[in-house]
Amino acid sequence: MMNARWEYGEAVRLTRNVRNDGTYPGLDPGAPLVRRGSVGYVVDVGTFLQDQIIYSVNFLEEGKIVGCREEELIGGDEPWTPSRFEFRDKVQAAKGLSVGGEVLVPVGAIGEVIKVVRDAPGGVAYHIHFDSLPGRVLQIPEDALQETVAKE
């Protein structure tokens, strides 16, 4: 058997959001199960297709036991930088965003998070695709973004 990185009872932290792949009972496929950054405890180690280690992780706060691949986990005590937004979240520009003096993204422009960059200089940043700037992705610091305001 492959070498498992974690054993029964060890604390692990989820590095990406986990949604129902259709195997979690009582919830629709695609429904969010556990948010990234959550800490759980390994309750079982198994394999999938003989080449992937799958950890059954009990997330006590969420009251769920979820199967996680090794690459979705880090040790529970490893450094973790929380972020306000996650992959696929809709955000809006909190201020005009310019490159070389040219405003490319006006205040309030709506965008979508393509990637979270936790180790960016100066703190968390995001790769954002703005609707107003088709075909381009910009790296934006967290403090230049805000949650989208739902239109009534």
Domain end: 75, 100, 130, which one? 75
Is residue 20 a contact partner of residue 34, using CB atoms and an 8 Å limit? no
Residue 15 in domain: yes
User: Where residue 109 sits, what CATH number does that domain have?
Assistant: 2.30.30
**Same-domain status, 60 and 16:** yes
**Tokens at 114, concatenated:** 């393509």
Domain finish residue from 75, 102, 121: 75
Q: How far apart are CA 144 and CA 98, in angstroms?
A: 11
Domain range for 122: 90-147
Q: Please tell me what DSSP assigns to residue 68.
A: E
Residue 152 within any structural domain of the chain: no
In terms of domains, do 95 and 71 share one? no
| pLDDT one-digit tens code per residue, 69-116 | 888 898 999 888 888 887 778 999 999 998 888 899 999 999 998 888
Domains in the chain, number = 2
- Residues 50, 94 within the same domain: no
Tell me the pTM: 0.62
Q: Which domain-ending residue is among 19, 51, 75?
A: 75
Token pair, residue 42, equals 């390994």
pLDDT score of 25: 86
37 Rama sector, left if φ>0, alpha if ψ -120 to 50, beta otherwise: left
- Residue 82 maps to a domain: no
29: in domain: yes
Residues 36 and 85: their CA atoms lie apart, in Å, by 11
Nearest to 130 by CA among 147, 150, 105, 107: 105
Cα(105)–Cα(81) distance, integer angstroms:
27
